[in-house]
Amino acid sequence: MNISTEIRKMRKVAGLSQAQLAERAGVGLRFVRELEQGKTTVRMDKVNQVLALFGREICIGKKL
């Protein structure tokens, strides 16, 4: 799964513009644009803020 493609699809299905998604997720428009373009260095906490709007999150394993 390509996260940038999936987020773009979810945004479009929800009928949101990039600006609307950014506002609702509490992130910047630039972040949404870079995320959807597949930028490889994005903050995971912000990615999860965006995904939370769609009831999803990315979990990365933690060492105990």
Asked whether residue 22 carries a pLDDT value surpassing 60, the answer given is yes
Which of the following CATH numbers is that of domain 3-52: 2.60.120.10, 3.20.20.80, 3.40.50.300, 1.10.260.40? 1.10.260.40
- Model pTM above 0.95: no
CA distances from 63 to 22, 30, 48, 49, 60 (A): 31, 32, 20, 23, 10
pLDDT of res. 63: 59
Residue whose structure tokens are 């709007």:
53
pLDDT by residue (tens digit) across 27-53? 999 999 999 999 989 999 999 999 999
With bands split at pLDDT 50, 70 and 90, how would you rate the model's confidence at 62?
A: low
Q: What are the residue boundaries of the structural domains of the chain, listed by start?
A: 3-52
pLDDT of res. 64: 54
